[in-house]
Every structure is written in structure tokens, then in C-alpha cells.
Structure 1
Amino acid sequence: MTTFSVHTQDSAPEDAHEVLKKARNNFGFIPNLLGVLAEAPVAAEAYLSMIDLCRRSSMTPTERHVTWFAVNDVHECQYCMAAHTAVARLEEIPEAVIEAARNGTTYHDERLQILREFTQNVVNQRGVIPPEAVTQFLDAGFTQKHVLEIIVFVSTKVLSNYTNHIAGTPLDQEFSACEWKKPNEV
């Protein structure tokens, strides 16, 4: 089995130093995911840029996390589910939303449930969504802009989830209290 390095500021390639400095400024530490991505500095920079773009989307903070959680769940990414749980709590996302995402239970807010289901369909169907599913999503009060933003969110999570699966990224101590396993695997 190939072992991937989890770079620190000192061990990372020189052209990754700036992006790791940005990660430390954003998070207060360098998350292991960014340490792994630093092996290919463009990957680390892409991830930070994509997260920033997601934050600038038209979605509310809760909708952003529902979308990230939905992709993490489909991809069964233990690292990202734990990390996003910690970040969601820092951003004061309602605990009921976080727990429904982590447990795979239905959201009490029908709009959030529709957002989750649509996002998971985008992932599961690799973007080949029937027109009636798009119409149902739009009828729930979402817009075409949201559809396109979801694709950005999915792309962001493909980068991080796939990296974590391939590299076996170890969970950071800072996220350990939020460790996650898919409910059917507990």
C-alpha cells in the first residue's frame, strides 16, 4: 500500500508554502487534508479556492452544510463528515441539521430534505438528472443558480473525498470529537 505524506509547513514542497500558510490562517492549523493535497500544490490551492467559492454562493450557511454533508454521505467520506461537523458547529448550524446529516435521517425542514435529495441524486446519477427532478427542485423555491452551485459543491467534495479515500488521510485531533461512520456501518 502506498503511503501519502501529510505535509507540514516545513516538509511541503516550496510552492505549497503559501497555500499552507493560508490554510493555517483560515483554520488555525493545517488540516491533514491540506497537508496531503500540498504534495500537488495546485490541488491544495484548488481546494481552498473552491471552498471559498462555495462560501460565496447564494446558499445560506445551513444550505451549504446540507449540500456538503449530502455529498460526503454518498461518498462515505469519514474525514470530511467529521471535519464539516466541526466546522458546522463553529458556524452555529442547528444541531438537528447536523445530526440528521450524520445519521441519515430525514430533515424536519422539507426544503432542506429536497436540497439533500437533489444533491445526492446529482452525485449518484453523475449529473444525469431527469427534467422532472429539476422541476421539483425548482418548485421547492430553489433556482437554476442553485443547481449550478450544487455542481460546484459536488466538484469540491470530489476533490477532497476522493483524496481522502486514496490517501487514507488521518483524522486531525481537532476533528476527532466529530468522528463519523456511516450509520449502517456502526
Structure 2
Amino acid sequence: MTDCQTHAPETAPAAARPVPARAQLANGCVPGLLAVMAEAPALAEGYATLSPIFEKAELSETERQIILMTNTRLTGCSFCMVAHTTICGRKGAPDDVIRALRAGTERGDPRPEAFCRFAVVINETRGWPSDGEAEAFLGA
């Protein structure tokens, strides 16, 4: 794997500096993923633009994190897993829920499980769920 340079706000390319700077103010540190993304200003800007849009979705913080942690597990992104594990913990998710999301195991709660299953479907079908899969999710 290629080693990527990580950046603090002061070492990032000028066009990317606002992204790690905002992250540092919000979190007390620059998460690893953003520290690497800062090497590519357009990528950092894209992430910083899309994240607040996702927060506007009519989902609870827990539901958003379920989707993000499921996607993180499926893609194998260690930076993302650390970040979303931390966020889940800060938002009050119980440790057993976090462990289940990290491992991809079911917890038995129907609504969160529906989010997990549909996130898997979206990943596996590259955004093209069947009508039945979409209906099953919407009916949950």
C-alpha cells in the first residue's frame, strides 16, 4: 500500500487548509482520514461538502452512523472505522452495538438491522437494489 502524507492544518496545501482546521476545532484533532485527504484539496472539499448534506437526511445520528459504519466495514477503511467508532461512542451508542457494527453481526433490533442490510445491498449492487430489496427496506 502506498504511504500517504498526513497533514495538520498548517502543513496542508493552502486550498485544503480549511478542512483540517475545522476538524481540529470540532474534534480537538484532525482525524486520520481528513489528514490524508488534505493532500488533495478537491477531495477534502468534496468530503467536507457532502458530510453536512448527509447530516440533513431525515435520519437520527445513530441511523447515519449505522450506515457509515456498515459501509466502512465493507470497504475496509481503517481510518473511517476509527473515526466512526469514536463518533458512535461519543454519541452514546452502547459498546455492544458498536462491536456488532464493526463485526457485521446482527443485534436483533429490526430498524437498525434494516439500515445495515440495505447499506450492504447498496454496496453489493453498486447502488442498484432490486425493487424487492428497496420495498423491504422502506417497509421496515
With structure 2 as the length reference, what TM-score do the two structures score? 0.91
Aligned to 1:112: 112
1:19 aligned counterpart, secondary structure: helix
Aligned to 1:24: 24
What is the CA–CA distance in structure 2 between the aligned matches of 1:91 and 1:44, rounded to whole Å? Answer: 24
Q: Does 1:125 align with 2:119?
A: no
User: 1:74–1:124: 8 Å Cα contact kept in structure 2?
Assistant: no
User: 1:61–1:93: 8 Å Cα contact kept in structure 2?
Assistant: no
What is the CA–CA distance in structure 2 between the aligned matches of 1:19 and 1:79, rounded to whole Å? Answer: 16
State the AA in 2 paired with 1:73: R
Per-residue deviation, residues 132-158 of structure 1 (Å, max 9, x unmatched): 111111111xxxxxxxxxxxxxxxxxx
With structure 1 as the length reference, what TM-score do the two structures score? 0.70
1:92 aligned counterpart, secondary structure: coil
Distance change in 2, residues 1:73/1:40 (3 Å): same
Q: CA deviation at 1:32?
A: 2.1
2:17 aligned counterpart, secondary structure: helix
Aligned to 2:33: 33
What is the aligned length? 140
Identity of aligned residues (%): 31
What is the CA–CA distance in structure 1 between the aligned matches of 2:138 and 2:51, rounded to whole Å? Answer: 24
State the AA in 1 paired with 2:115: L
User: 1:23–1:48: 8 Å Cα contact kept in structure 2?
Assistant: no
More contact order relative to length (CA 8 Å, sep ≥ 6): 1
Unmatched 5+ residue regions in structure 2?
none
Displaced runs of 4 or more, over 3 A: none
Unmatched 5+ residue regions in structure 1?
141-186
Aligned to 1:136: 136
State the AA in 2 paired with 1:27: N
Q: Does 1:81 align with 2:87?
A: no
Per-residue deviation, residues 19-66 of structure 1 (Å, max 9, x unmatched): 221111122111221121111112112112222222221111111111
Q: CA RMSD in A?
A: 1.5
Q: CA deviation at 1:3?
A: 2.9
Distance change in 2, residues 1:40/1:113 (3 Å): same
Aligned to 2:56: 56
1:20 aligned counterpart, secondary structure: helix
State the AA in 2 paired with 1:64: R
